[in-house]
Amino acid sequence: MHPKDIAISDFTYNLPDDRIARYPLEQRDESKLLLYGKGAISEDHFYSLATHLPAGSLLVFNNSKVIEARLLFEKPTGGVIEIFALEPHEQYADITTAMNETGSILYKCMVGGASKWKHGMVLEKHTLHEGKPIAVTAAIAEKRADCFVIRFSWEPAALAFAQVLHVLGEIPIPPYLHRAAEESDATRYQTIYARQDGSVAAPTAGLHFTDRVFADLARHGMRTAFTTLHVGAGTFKPVKSATMAGHDMHAEFMEIDPAFLQQLMDAACIIPVGTTSMRTLESIYWMGVKVLLNPRISLQELEIQQWEVYDHLMPHRAGKREVLQALQQWMQHQGLHRLIVKTSIIIAPGYSFGLCQGLITNFHQPNSTLLLLVAALIGEDWKRVYRYALDNGFRFLSYGDSSLLLPADANMS
C-alpha cells in the first residue's frame, strides 16, 4: 500500500485527558522509560538509558532552540491581538539569517483576532530591558491563504530579531496543555543542549536528558552528535483528511555540516533522539541518493518533498557510506561548509529506513503524523506499546515520559 492510501483512522487510540502531562517532572531524567526491543516490552527510568542501548550507539540530537514566538499586542482601544511567528519570509535564506536581522523583518505569522486588526493599523509594544526601553511595531504587509506576512520594526535597531523575541515574546507551549505559559516553561520547554534559535516547538524527546545522563552515556561507550532541524508549527497540525493523500506535510529547515556526515559514516548504530532528529537523518540519506542520481543537482532540487521517497527514490537505495560520501563531496564541490535546506519528508508505514536503527521518543497524539512515524519503525506493535503505556501509568505528550524503540533488526548489546 502506498502511504497516500493510509487511513488515519487506523492510527488512533483513546487518550484520556488525565494522561496528558501538563507539567514536567521536577527532575528531567526521573521520567519513566518504556523499552521495546525484539518485540518485548518492559520499563525502567530514563536515567538508566545507557544500559539499554545497542553497543557503540551514536545518539543524534536536535539542538534547535525554541524561540519566544508568541507576541501579544494591545490595540489603542484595549483589545489584544496575538501574533504567532511561524517562519521567515522567503526573502531570507534561512531561519538563522532571519534571527540575526536587525531593525526590521518580514515574518510569516498566524494572527489571533485578525478580524479586529483594521487595515493600516500599526500595533505597538513597549518594555524595558536591563533599564533600557525597547519598542516594537507590527504591521500587516500581506494576507495569504494560510498566514499573514507581518513587518516587525524595532528600536534600538541594533538588536537582532532573536533578542527582540527573547525580551518581548512568550514560549509557545503546545495548545493541548490547555494552560498559559509560565515562567518555568522558559527553561523546561528547552533541552539543556539547545543552541540554534528557530523552533516554535521543542524537540521534546530531548527534554529528559541531563548532565548525569550524558556522563553515563560516555561511560558506556556511547557517542553523541548534534544537528539542527527547526521545528515548525505544523508539528501540531492534525491530519483532518480521511487518507494521507489529503494531508500536506509541513516543511522545516535543517542544517548539517561535513563533520556531522563523517560521524554518521563512522557509526555502527544510529539512534535519533526524537522524531525531528529522525526526519533530519532520513532526509540526509535521500539527499545523498539524489546526489548519486544527479551529481549536478541544485540546492533547491535537493529538498525532500512529501511523497518523493515513495514515488521516485526507494528503487535507488544505496549503502550508507556511499550515500553520505556523495552528499559530503557535493557540499565540498559547492563550497558549502554548512548545508541549510528544507525537508517535507513524511515517514509512514511502507517507508524503508536509510540510516536510523531505533528511536528515543515521547508518546504522541492520536491521528498524528508522528504516530505514523512510530508505526513505520515498529509496525503494528505500536498498538502494543501504547496499550502498555496507558495500562502502566505513563505520562503522554510533550512533558510526558519517554520510550526507546528498537526494531528486531537493531543490534542489541
Q: State pLDDT tens for residues 295-321.
A: 999 999 999 999 999 999 999 999 999
Strand ranges of the sheet holding 359-362, from the earlier edge strand across to the other edge:
40-45, 32-37, 402-406, 359-362
pLDDT tens by residue, 335-392: 999 999 999 999 999 999 999 999 999 999 999 999 999 999 999 999 999 999 999 9
pLDDT tens by residue, 198-253: 999 999 999 999 999 999 999 999 999 999 999 987 766 678 899 999 988 878 89
207: phi then psi, degrees, rounded to nearest 5: -65, -20
**Cell 518504556 -> residue:** 34
Considering the chain, what percentage of its residues have pLDDT values greater than 70?
A: 98
pLDDT tens by residue, 30-56: 999 999 998 999 999 999 999 999 999
CA proximity to 304, closest of 350, 341, 258, 333: 341
pLDDT over 50 at 412, yes or no = no
Judged on CB neighbours under 10 Å (0-12, 13-18, 19+), 46 is buried
Contacts of 145 (CB under 8 A, 6+ apart): none
DSSP 8-class letter at 45: E
Name all domains of the chain by residue range, CATH numbers in brackets.
3-65+188-406 (3.40.1780.10), 69-169 (2.40.10.240)
pLDDT over 70 at 410, yes or no = no
pLDDT tens by residue, 118-169: 888 999 999 988 888 999 999 999 999 889 999 999 999 999 999 999 999 9
Q: What pLDDT is recorded for position 411?
A: 43
pTM for the whole structure: 0.94
Segment 266-281 shows an average pLDDT of: 97
Q: Report the mean per-residue pLDDT for the chain.
A: 94
End-to-end CA distance of the chain: 34
- The cell for 372 is 505514523
Q: What pLDDT is recorded for position 413?
A: 34
Q: Between 231 and 326, whose confidence is greater?
A: 326
